[in-house]
Structure 1
Amino acid sequence: MSLSGRYRLNILDKPLSRGKGEVSLTCFALLFAEIVQYCQNKSQTVPELQIRLHELGRKVGLKLIDLYFVRERSGKRETKLLSILLFVKSTFWKALFGKEADKLEHSNDDENTYYLMEKEPLVNKYISVPRDKSSLNCAVFVAGIVEAVLTGTGFPAKVTAHWHKGTTYMVKFEESVVTRDKQLEER
């Protein structure tokens, strides 16, 4: 208790869904640039660097789903494929970046594949990439987060980041996820 007799919430106790962007953008940019530099120092090639960023994103994503679903939703998780995708596109994206992702599309060619699009990912905004590493897309970090969230909530998927209309996250679900979803719809 504070001297005034009122309990003040710690930032860790505040709901994620009602955050006000309390992290300084400058601090985030500096921290993320250091993460990229750290991974780059441990990597020989751009693909190796992207794998390291993706794996760090997965670790962050696993912590975030625990935090979000325990604190915000009292353990209640989505059971349908479209529901979890809409949750990631809107609620989860907004908690992380202060806005929804720009677009969610289902692939015309593969029923297991969805595309989540963002014109200007925050993780790419303040990173300057040297010419010899022009194929580097730091959004692989976010792809790792999304992959961990989907897999950790019972929707195993592989998520990759690609340069296309900004950044497109290709979400490829395991066959069992689509089959289970169809069975749920039939009930």
Structure 2
Amino acid sequence: MELRRFTQSAPKTSNTTMSNSEIAKRNILDRPLTRNREELYLSTFSFLFAEAVQYLQTRVQQVSELEDKLNQLGYRVGQRALELLCFREKMNRREIRLVSILGLIRVQLWKFLFNKSADYLKKVTDREDEYYIEEEEPLVNRYISVPKDFGQLNCAAFMAGIIRGAMDSAGFTASVSAHYIHREEKSRWNAPVTIFMIRLDESVMNRERQWTS
């Protein structure tokens, strides 16, 4: 199994006994935001995410409720991830155009979180307020085995929540949902392609129209 790395490395061990004050300094809240991005093994991330899915599964009655819970969980990640990305990459210019923020999410934020850009960003041809990001192999689905009684559960709802949180944080209110699409050709992971459907709020579209008028 190929292991990619993400966002945290194991702390260095020491044979010396640490005092209480030294232990307190290791708290994550005391770490500087400007430090280099640390990394986490894919196997560790997959285990933690699977545990989160199982935890939420015991607290819902329907598949749609589980996807909503995953979306809400991802929303909080997306809000903080965009802020942290902009701070660390010294992005001093705030994105004020819709296409720009979508491109930032598809490329920079995706690389920041998943070490790769999303596959495609496209506009729905007959709807000016709808875009979608296409991902052939969402990381969160790669090692999740969905029981048959859960039907079309798409755990990438978590990633949809990340997109929604990032856009909301940037001032582009939208609803984002994850959907499977089936194609004749199969992906290398033998799974259907996932699209993240982004539906912009009317206030966002009104602002965009002012820019183009």
Q: One fold, TM greater than 0.5? A: yes
Whole-Å separation in 2 of the counterparts to 1:129 and 1:163: 13
Question: Which fold has the larger relative contact order, with Cα–Cα distance below 8 Å and residues 6 or more apart in sequence?
Answer: 1
- Map Cα deviations across residues 86-127 of structure 1 (whole Å, 9 max, x no partner): 101111111111110000110111100001000010000010
How far is 1:70 from its partner?
3.0
- Structure 2: which amino acid aligns with 1:175? E
Identical residues among aligned pairs (%): 43
Q: CA RMSD in A?
A: 1.8
C-alpha distance in 1, partners of 2:36/2:155? 28
Output the amino acid matched with 2:52.
Answer: I
Show the 5 A alignment for 1:98-109: 98-109=115-126
* 2:35 alignment counterpart: 14
Looking at structure 2, the residues matched to 36 and 59 of structure 1 have their Cα atoms a distance apart, in angstroms, of 16
Do the aligned partners of 1:50 and 1:136 also contact (CA within 8 Å) in 2?
A: yes
In structure 1, the residue matched to 2:208 is 181
In structure 2, how many angstroms separate the alpha carbons of the residues matched to 1:74 and 1:84? 12
Residue 14 of structure 1: how far off its partner (Å): 3.3
Larger Rg: 2
SS of corresponding position for 1:50: helix
Q: 1:88 to 1:132 in 2, by over 3 A?
A: same
Residue in structure 2 matched with residue 148 of structure 1 by the alignment: 165
Q: Aligned partner of 1:13: which letter? A: T
1:28 aligns with 45
- Aligned residue pairs: how many? 173
Structure with bigger helix share is 1
Partner of residue 4, structure 1: none
- Amino acid of the residue matched to residue 122 of structure 1? L
Q: In 2, are the aligned partners of 1:137 and 1:163 still within 8 Å (CA)?
A: yes
Which ranges of structure 2 fall in alignment gaps of 5 or more residues?
1-30, 183-192
Contact preservation (8 Å) 1:15, 1:72: no
Structure 1 contact 112–178 (Cα < 8 Å) conserved: yes
Shift of 1:69: 2.5
Paired residues of 1:69 and 1:76 also in contact (CA < 8 A): no
